[in-house]
Structure 1
Amino acid sequence: MGLLNLLSANPVAFLIIALALVFSLTVHEFAHAWVADRLGDSTPRRYGRVTLNPLKHLDPFGTLLLLIAGFGFARPVPINPNNLGRWGTFWVAAAGPISNLLLALITALLMRVFAGNGLAISILGIVLGINVVLAVFNLIPIPLLDGSRILGALVPSLGRSLAQFEAQPFSFLIVMAFIYLARGPIGNIIASVQNWVERTVGV
């Protein structure tokens, strides 16, 4: 369900979820850019992506899709793998999901701190859930997602095939179809990871 369906029913919930999504997606993309910059690739900096300004990271079509379909994306951070090497590329790809997992753990810790505040718990619960979804979802090893770039760095020959597939105009539709068909197993993994986060922090 897209966020637009929630707008008329519960505007406050819509605003909270929208802000949490923007914040989480921004941190995710910033993490990619920051790690690439630290590892010697100035490409993200030249494109103004080493920033927490959400306007630099949000994609118009991805944001519209998020509002309508409940699934969207931010603008990919441009990098030059030649400046990073195999393992640099690996860490840049992994930085986004890692940042969301860290945000989930921090949010769970804050839920312990604000245990007596119902409103804070509700908001933090939304942030926690969104970041677990982003972390797990982006680790799926299929083209257009960080998982495929992580896999490509670990297995360079496979990485070239994944990159060629990603360049095809129909790749987005195939990935969307896969995600829709695999939504059950993906949902189970997301629930398991969220349970692990909450148990780790003791929520």
Structure 2
Amino acid sequence: MELTLIQKIAVFALPVIFAITLHEAAHGYVARYFGDMTAAAAGRITLNPLKHIDPVGTILVPLVILVMSKLLGGGAILFGWAKPVPVNFAQLRRPKQDMLWVALAGPGVNFFMALFWALMIQLGHALGNGFVSAPLMLMGASGVFINVILMALNLLPLPPLDGGRIAVSLLPVKQAMQFARIEPYGFFILLGLLFTGILGFVLWPLISLFVGLAALLTGLDPAQLVGLIQVVLA
């Protein structure tokens, strides 16, 4: 089974939008819990995707990747971004310690969304061969895939990614300050890793690990999940 480009966009659209935007919303929710009201004052603590969508990062970039992947025969790492939720770490009650939880919130939400979409595959399977079952299962596979990618990517210990914030929170103060100085160059480092192929070399094992974990926790056959992901990526 091979999806057309329109079918591919249709099964990826909702998972991509919610994976990217709820990731950002989670940072705002947790920051507010630990005392920083910056995101709340900006109206960004909401589950409404329209408040978080970045026309380029949330729509254009994933769309271009999907089109290019289709033309080149699949295998691309699909990613994107939303408008960053503003967080003032200095306003957290314990800035260095609480930064850890604010940073973990985004990848954590992506993991739970991956589990949700895996359960949608289970639901589609339970519905049998009806009109809804196949699209639901394919959308579920897309949801698992995009969420584990965002989770794996953001856990890389590179500022300003969430993994970089986590590293700053965990390192001793002196080393944390030195490591944080990388942040202005983090995006360019990430692009370098992408174009040299190092990023894919690092991410694919993590993606496979998280896909397997999502299958295990939701009772899915890992081979079935991988097979569905291969269909939506082809």
Fold match by TM threshold 0.5: yes
- TM-score interval, normalised by the smaller of the two chains: 0.7 to 0.9
Measure how far apart 1:35 and its partner are. Answer: 0.8
- The match for 2:31 among 16, 31, 36 is 36
* 2:96 corresponds to 1:86: yes
> Structure 2: which 5+ residue stretches go unaligned?
66-77, 221-234
**Counterpart in the other structure of 1:3:** none
Q: 2:215 aligns with which of 188, 195, 198?
A: 198
1:188 counterpart = 2:205: yes
CA distance in 2, matches of 1:109, 1:15: 19
Contact 1:31 / 1:99 at 8 angstroms: preserved in 2? yes
**Per-residue Cα deviation, 1:68-125 (whole angstroms, up to 9, x for no partner):** 3454322222111122122211100000000010111122223223313222111111
**Equivalenced residues, count:** 194
Work out which of the two has the higher radius of gyration on C-alpha atoms and give 1 or 2.
2
Match of 2:48 among 25, 44, 53: 53
Aligned ranges for residues 88-127 of structure 1 at < 5 Å?
A: 88-115=98-125, 116=128, 117-127=133-143
Identity %: 36
Is the CA contact 1:87–1:153 (under 8 Å) kept in the aligned structure 2?
Answer: yes
Does 1:148 find its partner at 2:144?
no
Rounded to whole Å, the distance in 2 between the matches of 1:113 and 1:60 is 32
How much is the aligned-residue C-alpha RMSD, in angstroms? 2.0
Q: TM-score if structure 1 supplies the norm length? A: 0.86
2:61 is aligned, of 57, 61, 65, to: 65
Please report the TM-score for the alignment, with normalisation by the length of structure 2: 0.75
- Tell me how far apart the structure 2 counterparts of residues 143 and 24 of structure 1 sit (CA, whole Å): 20
Unaligned stretches of 5+ residues in structure 1:
1-5
Q: Given the superposition, is the C-alpha separation of residues 157 and 66 from structure 1 closer, same or farther in structure 2, using an over 3 Å criterion?
A: farther
AA partner of residue 12 (structure 1): Q
Rounded to whole Å, the distance in 1 between the matches of 2:122 and 2:80 is 30
Aligned to 2:230: none
Determine the C-alpha separation between the residues in 1 that align with 2:34 and 2:109: 17
How far apart, in 2, do the equivalents of 1:145 and 1:73 lie?
11
